[in-house]
Chains A and B, each alone.
Chain A
Amino acid sequence: MQISLSFEKFDEVLNGSKVSNVIWNQENDSALGSSSTQQLWTDKYKLCSLEEPDVQKKNVEHFLTPSRFEGLVNPKRDLALGSSSRQQLWTNKNKPCSLEEHAIQKENVGRFLTPSRFEGLVNPDHDSASASSSTQQLWAEKYKPRSLEELAVQRKKVEEVRAWFEERLGDSKDKFSTNVLVITGQAGVGKTATVRQIASHLGARLYEWDTPTPTIWQEYMHNCKTGLEYTSKLDEFENFVERIRRYGSTSPSIPGESKSSAILLIDDLPVTNGRTAFERLRQCLLLLVRSTHIPTAVVLTECGKADSVDSTAQSFEELQSILVDAGARKVALNPITNGSIKRTLSKICRQEQYSLSTEQIDLVAQASGGDIRQAITSLQFSSLKQDPMLNLSLSISKPNFPEEKADGHGGFSIQFGRDETLSLFHALGKFLHNKRETDNLVKMDQDAFVVKDKFSRLPLKMDAPEKVLSQAHGQARPVLDFLHENFLDFISEDAIDDAWAVASYLSDADLLLASFRGRLVRYNEADNVLQSAAASVAARGVLFGNSHPVPPRWHAIRKPKLWRVDQSSLQKKKELLKKKFMAWDGSISADVYNGSSSSDVSVLATEYAPALKWLGNRTSVGLEAHEAPIPDNETQDVDIFEGMSLDDHESEISNYESEDDWMSEM
């Protein structure tokens, strides 16, 4: 808050009441850049640029520039140079100028750096650009729904949630078994907004639990010095729940609040790592569901429809089922429909006086994938492109940026929006079902590539296979294995030639991947090329080879049997070797060396194993563990017993190992 202090001082300067020493100092030393306040400015600047580390730099600039430049309204200033922001500012600052002018500059710098914070401090008399101050706000914040009617969420769902809260907030709250509502839905469908609006609609006070920001390392080190204990986020959450349970409210200090009009919103459950932590969270949630007296909404963000093997997706499912099992009511919000996104967007456009054609709005809405926050941000982003000043700065700071993109339609490519994802099975289904147009609608061009009849196929009813693959995040190996396992179901009964063609393409793809298994792993480039080439060959091979697809009907997609075969053959191999060695152990203990040496597995499997099977009942090294061998004497009996128990143990271990392998391969 040092900054705001200095701003206050600036205000004083502007009002001409007092000239503080600090300011003078600063101005005198500004050329050296060594005064303490100056240091703060740089720090502040750093923080500002770090504020959005995951957003692409380019985008950050795009966002920040308009507000910057609207602040820097002085036409005398060299705007073209403004894109290299820091330098420009400091040069400006270092120029000797009158006190007042300097102060205005400062002010501009201030807005530039911390628009939101500065807002409160702006003295309207001096803020020349106050008319446009509204643009500084993010639209997603600015146009967040103010009433229930404004919510873009499905009316029915809103009503459902509202009714639920109303019932609980009513007088007869004791008759309900639980007071917890779980709201699920993907990001940006308005889960939190719904609860907020309902709370304000019902006139209830909203208590929120927000996951605390993570402790960064420096902070932790600092706290250590001051003697503060580190508490994990989970601990904090536990304490929070405990408080609620005990006192029925988060902040008991607020006076005059009746409990009946309070709503608790738990926006984000702490992320847990590992089983024990998860178990604690589970207990915590159970406790919450059973004992809370305030109507509570738990908001869970769905992790997207892509079937990630990610543990977060799993834990989402688990958390949801834990809550529901404990008796919580569940409301699932669907992605927001295109229609209502479009309505919202055009409303914003009207209010911002920003003209955008319906097609463009449509495009933005579609690209958002049902995420309204994303849609609004995209809209704001696209509106920036028509700002002439921005264009100017863009063309200077990024010379490579294509000029034509700035004017209108060209810029509406896929520069924003969420990438659509498909599940792996969806993609596999596309390949296997092989849906094509019924007749060849594509008109043959004059110079179109003419192919022989037997190679020509009807056009596909889907995107290019490569695109489908990338949408499904498909890795070549699993895709190939799945296709190989399942493709036979989709080939018509007498088309053995097709089966042959597909198998041969899959084999080619497999060959590509087999070489990838080797050394090339190290070279990312080569690895990527091979991977995608193999996946492409596999997908296109399946599509091309299956020239007479069977009429679509439902097929279950099986997990590749090959994986199991891989695993168990490894296990079997270990077993074989073990058996062989067990025989030795026995003979060594009897001090007789039997003279055999280790044989390779293929010999063991093809020659020893069948023979031993025949001899099974007679020898101590019966290959089939379940065929109980009939021992000749007691000592052998003991040997066998030990051998078998050891074997069991070993196979268990190897089972785990191979599972791990499987996981890591995925």
Chain B
Amino acid sequence: MLWVDKYRPKTLDQVIVHQDIAQNLKKLVTEQDCPHLLFYGPPGSGKKTLIMALLRQVFGPGAEKVKVENKTWKIDAGSRNIDLELTTLSSANHVELSPSDAGFQDRYVVQEVIKEMAKNRPIDTKGKRGFKVLVLNEVDKLSREAQHSLRRTMEKYSASCRLILCCNSSSKVTEAIRSRCLNIRINSPTEEQIVKVLEFIAKKEGLQLPSGFATRLAEKSNRSLRRAILSFETCRVQQYPFKDNQAIPAMDWEEFVFEIASDIMQEQSPKRLFQVRGKLYELLLNCVPPVVVLKRLLYELLKRLDAEIKHEVCHWAAYYVSISFQILFIVPLVDFPSPLECSAQAAYIQPPLIRANSDPVALHS
């Protein structure tokens, strides 16, 4: 088991990083009925960990007995029937799923799943809480239609079902949903906190962790605890005992983007553009989200460009990223048959990306 999973705090009391929030949550669920919750914050800040710990707090250790299911929903959408297959994680008391995996049909997922859950209300023999919890991941990637129908279902079934929503950016969740939830912002852990966690793990594993190395790991992690722990474990495999100046391996896709940036700077010709495009396809093939690629590429390019054209390159990058989001969030993507968000993004991010790369102003430098 990866250290990330192994040393994940199981209960709200074990939490190291967001102790204050954990305590508040504990109070919230022990003293009164739990409202709908919306957790938001940057990746690797501990949203999921808190949610799982919270569920355990509410339902006891039973919440940890989860099973993975590939469930198919048959949905009657008026004129036709849609079959949706989605992976869910569920225990006796909660169901977790990522409706955005269903791509353009996410709206139906939201409606159907909640309805079904409301139907099979758990029978509370011991007079325990008679509600189920539905954990929805990546709500910010839901289409506007889906968010709208989520709002309606939320109201209708609130007696039997609590929602815990989880997302990176609350700005992409509609106002209506946000106002119906208790919003909990989870900040990225500070570097000191990360160092603290790393030291905790080192102690448990019985490792000597030089403080300089821990600091460097924390710096490199971009304040993502998950990333810090993952690279910590990677370093452990590569070389132990640790040295202060030990190399911290970069993510392979980041190195790949670095290569792309060098290619772009070296030569600007249609032929090179073609090669670069091939490399971008490679990234997409490995499911690296286009927006992430674009951001990283901009970051790499900015390091090498002259000051006067940085502005222009930023402009185009922002332009194409915003277009991609516009499509995702303004135009409802409900009915398209192949629920492949990544491909959809890939398809339209793809040419823009090339344009950003080959921006003539940038390339004349």
Contact = CB atoms under 8 A, between A and B. Distances in A.
B309 to A, nearest CB: 14
Interface stretch (A367-375, A444-452, A494-502): A494-502
B240 interface: no
Contacts of A588: 65-67
B288 interface: yes
A584 interface: yes
A562 B343 CA distance: 9
A506 B355 CA distance: 10
A435 to B, nearest CB: 19
B344 to A, nearest CB: 6
A156 interface: no
9 closest A-B pairs by beta carbon, nearest first, are A507-B351, A593-B64, A566-B343, A605-B287, A611-B230, A610-B251, A614-B234, A596-B5, A595-B8
Interface string B30-50: 000000000000011000110
Interface stretch (A70-78, A347-355, A515-523): A515-523
A524 interface: no
Interface stretch (A123-131, A306-314, A569-577): A569-577
A594 B226 contact: no
Nearest to A565: B281
Contacts of A602: 287-289, 292
Interface of A: 484, 488-489, 491-497, 499-500, 503-504, 506-507, 510-511, 514-515, 517-519, 521-522, 561-562, 565-566, 568-570, 572-573, 576-577, 581, 583-585, 587-588, 593-615, 618-619, 621, 661, 664-665
B360 A607 contact: no
Residue among B10, B271, B342 having the largest count of chain A Cβ atoms under 10 Å = B342
11 contacts: A488-B277, A496-B360, A503-B354, A511-B348, A517-B336, A519-B332, A568-B285, A595-B49, A597-B89, A605-B288, A621-B2
B299 interface: no
B318 interface: no
A566 B350 CA distance: 12
B266 interface: no
B13 interface: no
Given A593-B65, A596-B4, A572 B285 contact: yes
A493 B233 contact: no
A522 B335 contact: yes
A598 B51 CA distance: 12
A562 B346 contact: yes
Nearest to B336: A517
Interface of B: 1-2, 4-6, 8, 10, 43-44, 48-49, 51-52, 64-68, 87, 89, 96-98, 100-101, 104, 135, 137-138, 145, 224, 226-227, 230-231, 233-234, 237-238, 249, 251-253, 268-271, 273-274, 277-278, 281, 284-289, 292, 320, 323, 327, 331-338, 340, 342-344, 346-348, 350-352, 354-355, 358-360, 363
A224 B135 CA distance: 59
Given A515-B327, A584-B66, A610-B251, A572 B351 contact: no
Contact of A594 (B6, B270, B292): B6
Contact of B335 (A521, A561, A619, A664): A521
A220 to B, nearest CB: 29
Given A566-B343, A569-B287, A609-B286, A499 B98 contact: no
Contact of A488 (B224, B270, B284): B270
A569 B284 contact: yes
A500 B351 CA distance: 10
Given A569-B342, A576-B287, A605-B286, A494 B252 contact: no
User: Chain B contact residues: over half helix, strand or loop, or mixed?
Assistant: helix
A518 B348 CA distance: 13
Contacts of B336: 517-518, 521
Contacts of B65: 588, 593
Given A496-B363, A597-B89, A515 B331 contact: yes
Contacts of B331: 514-515, 518-519
Given A499-B358, A503-B358, A511-B348, A597 B52 contact: yes
Contact of A618 (B49, B135, B237, B323): B237
A569 B350 CA distance: 14
A600 to B, nearest CB: 5
Nearest to A550: B270
A612 B135 CA distance: 26
Contact of A510 (B10, B224, B348): B348
Contacts of B355: 500, 503-504, 507
A616 to B, nearest CB: 9
Contact of A499 (B5, B43, B270, B343): B270
A499 B253 CA distance: 26
A28 B332 CA distance: 69
A484 B358 CA distance: 15
Contacts of B350: 484, 510, 562
Residue among A572, A573, A595 having the largest count of chain B Cβ atoms under 10 Å = A595
A517 B104 contact: yes
A315 B314 CA distance: 54
A518 B104 CA distance: 7
A503 to B, nearest CB: 5
B68 A494 contact: no
Given A598-B89, A598-B98, A661 B338 contact: yes
A69 B148 CA distance: 66
B344 A514 contact: yes
Given A499-B270, A581-B68, 14 more contacts: A493-B269, A517-B104, A518-B331, A518-B335, A521-B335, A561-B281, A572-B285, A584-B66, A596-B8, A599-B137, A603-B43, A605-B286, A606-B288, A611-B231
A497 B234 CA distance: 44
A268 B359 CA distance: 58
Contacts of A595: 5, 8, 10, 49, 52, 64
Contacts of B67: 588
A500 B360 contact: yes
Nearest to A585: B68
B102 to A, nearest CB: 13
B282 to A, nearest CB: 9
B106 to A, nearest CB: 12
A601 B287 contact: yes
B360 A665 contact: no
Nearest to A561: B281
Nearest to A505: B351
B246 to A, nearest CB: 14
A570 B332 CA distance: 21
A519 B234 contact: no
A613 B323 CA distance: 33
A533 to B, nearest CB: 15
Contact of B87 (A496, A598, A614): A598
Residue among A494, A561, A606 having the largest count of chain B Cβ atoms under 10 Å = A606
Nearest to A567: B343
